Amino acid sequence: MEKNNVIKIITIIIVILSLVFVSYLSNKNISNISNKNFLYEKNILDINDINKLSFLQQELIDTRKIKLYILIRFSDFNCSTCYINFLNFSDSLNAHFSIYSESIFFLIERDNRDLFVQKKFIDHWKKRQKIKFKHIFVQGFNKLPNVNKSSLLVREKNIIHIFPLPIPEYEYSTILKFIFDKITININ
């Protein structure tokens, strides 16, 4: 074998090995993001736990498409930090409404007002805050394990990760990236 050919083969092997190594490193990086910042020590629900809620309308929801449930107990917004945190997050979601309209769903807890009054209130509130995603009224927040306040419920396959409001900013961006398919989450 000529000397030149040997050098070429060695160069190709080095390039391939470098690519494999870079690919390994980047995968490791994603896995780190998911494990440390996103899933690490988060409370989770089984996807079927959502059925423990009483849905007050008979609209059909295609739950297979939903990636994010936003669970709202309006009285939690007496906490300004939680409210502004939620509104900022909601603004980020609104920008993607046209593509992800079926992936995000609001679950709003019934309060002790007349249903008509609460519906009117929520419709007005959504309009004022430019929230376009669909909502449904539910009862029985307390029946959901590990949920005791307004939260983002991020669905990944058959489990749901619970993020109670307010959410730290680094988690915000990770949730958004996940919902909008920018990163892959490897729960294993």
Partner 1 sequence: MFKLILILSAFIFISCGENKSKKVNNFDILTDKQLLIKREMMINSENDSLLYGISGFTTSMDGNIVVCDDVDFDIKKFDIMGKLINVYGSRGRGPNEFTLPPCQIAYNEKRNLYAVIERTSHVIKLFNGRFDFVKQILNAAPVSDIVFDDESNLITVTPPAPQFFKTINIFDREGNLKSSFNPSNLTGEMLFDMCYLNYNSCKKKIILMYLFRNLIQVYDLNGKLNNEFSLPFLPLKAESEKFNNNSGLPTPVKGIPIKHIFWDISSDDQGHLYILSGNYAKNGNKKEIYVTSTEGKLLRVINLDFESKFIYVPPKQHGYFYATSNKETAVGKYRMIW
Does the bond joining 166 to the residue before it have cis omega, within 30 degrees of 0?
Answer: yes
Give which of 38, 42, 40, 61 is closest to 50, Cα–Cα.
61
3-state secondary structure of 113: coil
Q: Does 119 bind partner 1 (CB under 8 A)?
A: no
Cβ proximity to partner 1, 100 vs 125, nearer residue: 125
Token pair 């769903």: residue = 105
Burial 45-69 (b: 16+ CB within 10 A, else e): bebebbebbeeeeeeebeeeebbbb
Q: How far is the CB of 26 from partner 1 (least distance, A)?
A: 36
Choose the binding region for partner 1 from 31-39, 50-58, 81-89, 150-158 (rule: CB under 8 A). 81-89
Q: How far is the CB of 75 from partner 1 (least distance, A)?
A: 11
Q: Does 132 bind partner 1 (CB under 8 A)?
A: no
Q: Does 84 bind partner 1 (CB under 8 A)?
A: yes
Q: What is the DSSP letter of 142?
A: G
Cβ proximity to partner 1, 55 vs 121, nearer residue: 121
Q: List Cα–Cα distances, 170 to 11, 71, 92, 157, 177, in angstroms.
A: 41, 20, 14, 23, 11
Choose the binding region for partner 1 from 58-66, 102-110, 121-129, 169-177 (rule: CB under 8 A). 121-129
Cβ proximity to partner 1, 65 vs 124, nearer residue: 124
Q: Under the rule (CB under 8 A), what is the footprint of partner 1? A: 80-81, 83-84, 87, 113, 117, 120-121, 124-125, 128-129
